[in-house]
Amino acid sequence: MNKGMLIVLSGPSGVGKGTVLEKVFEHDKNLAYSVSCTTRPPRSGEKDGVHYSFISKEKFLENIQNGRMLEYTVYCDNYYGTDAEYVDSLRKKGFDVVLEIETNGAMNVLKKCSDAVSVFIAPPTFEHLQKRLTERGTETSDVINKRILKAKDELSRIDIYEYLVINDVVDNAVQDILAILRAERIKKYNKTNYRGVLI
């Protein structure tokens, strides 16, 4: 069995990554979502083990010390990170694993895993993003301001990613990501698995 691909997907808070990814997962059954660990408290409706593994700061620091994290970062005063063994076990089962992570973590993964596919989802304009973040009402104004600052920083680092997807119309962004996955699979697997007669 082929080891699955690693897909690093970033985009500023409020860009609609969740909605886009949900639809991508509906269409593509070979994908697995990497459930990150975080010390941020759950939002209403978020489930432990589904959206995140919600853990204490002490436990998070212990995981770092034990070398368990593929990458981690501090984002708006909370820790977020990816468990290396968990991702590897999904890839060994043949799943293409999606890491939905911010740009610092993405840079670290891209340094460690040169074959990872990287995608950045951007808003059509910065104003769209500000409006969405302010209107969704899931954060306090202090947190919103921090997220807007972080979004500016993330948008300035688009160049580290191979692909840029613009989330203007959700279905178009979904189709773009499905097309990227399809092309990357053809690139990665077809030559390796070809068993035809070579002349």
- Interaction pattern, residues 5-34, with ligand 5GP; x per rule: CB under 6 A: --------x---------------------
Q: Check residue 102 for interaction with ligand 5GP (CB under 6 A).
A: yes
| Residue 14: closest CA among 180, 125, 172, 171 | 125
| Number of residues forming the site for ligand 5GP (CB under 6 A) | 14
Residue 143 has φ and ψ, to the nearest 5°, of: -65, -40
Q: Which residues pair with 32 in a beta bridge?
A: 97
- In whole angstroms, give the CA distance from residue 166 to residue 125: 9
Q: Check residue 100 for interaction with ligand 5GP (CB under 6 A).
A: yes
**Number of residues that make up the chain:** 199
The only residue of 63, 82, 118, 167 in contact with ligand 5GP, by rule CB under 6 A? 82
Q: Which stretch binds ligand 5GP (CB under 6 A): 98-106, 126-134, 170-178, 182-190?
A: 98-106
Query: 166: buried, middle or exposed (CB in 10 Å: 19+, 13-18, 0-12)?
Result: middle
Residues numbered 117 to 156 that lie near ligand 5GP (CB under 6 A) are none
Kind of pairing between the strands at 163-166 and 117-122: parallel
Q: Check residue 79 for interaction with ligand 5GP (CB under 6 A).
A: no
Q: Check residue 161 for interaction with ligand 5GP (CB under 6 A).
A: no
Tokens of 145: 């301001």
Report yes or no: 153 and 76 within 8 Å, Cβ to Cβ: no
- Interaction pattern, residues 166-185, with ligand 5GP; x per rule: CB under 6 A: --------------------
If you search the block for the tokens 């053809």, which residue do you land on? 186
| Residue 75: closest CA among 139, 162, 169 | 139
As measured in angstroms, the least distance from the Cβ of 179 to ligand 5GP is 22
Cβ nearer to ligand 5GP, comparing 75 with 95: 75
- Residue numbers of the site for ligand 5GP (CB under 6 A)? 13, 36, 40, 71, 73, 75, 80-82, 100-102, 104-105
